[in-house]
Amino acid sequence: MLELAIGIILGCCALGAGAAMIAGIGPGIGEGNAVASACEAIARQPESKGSVTSTMLMGCAVAETTGLYALVIAILLIFVAPNMLVNILLNAIG
């Protein structure tokens, strides 16, 4: 019975880590759109290259934080949460 509970904990942590990494799709799409729009803006007005590039890089850096937060959550779910939850389970059982 205990092995089943530990298996469920490990499986749910793995599923949660996989679901958290789905958040990596958003920054990829957002940054791709930002770069495409910046290239189009530079093509239309080449003299504005400096301001467009700096604004694009700042926006991409902000968008990338979502993916990094998802990666941190996934790493915590893989390496930290299973041990913590198993210890809570074992302490509850006695």
pLDDT at 27: 85
pLDDT at 35: 92
Please give the backbone phi and psi of residue 57, each rounded to the nearest 5 degrees, phi first: -65, -40
Nearby residues of 56 by Cβ (< 8 Å), 6 or more positions away: 34, 35, 37, 38
pLDDT at 66: 86
pLDDT at 24: 83
55 to each of 1, 41, 58, 64, 75, how far by Cα in Å?
57, 12, 5, 14, 31
Backbone Cα Rg of the chain? 21
pLDDT at 63: 86
**pLDDT tens track, the chain, 94 positions:** 889 999 999 999 999 999 999 888 888 898 899 999 999 999 999 999 999 999 999 988 888 888 899 999 999 999 999 999 999 999 998 7
For the record, the structure tokens of 27 come out as 């920054």
pLDDT at 43: 93
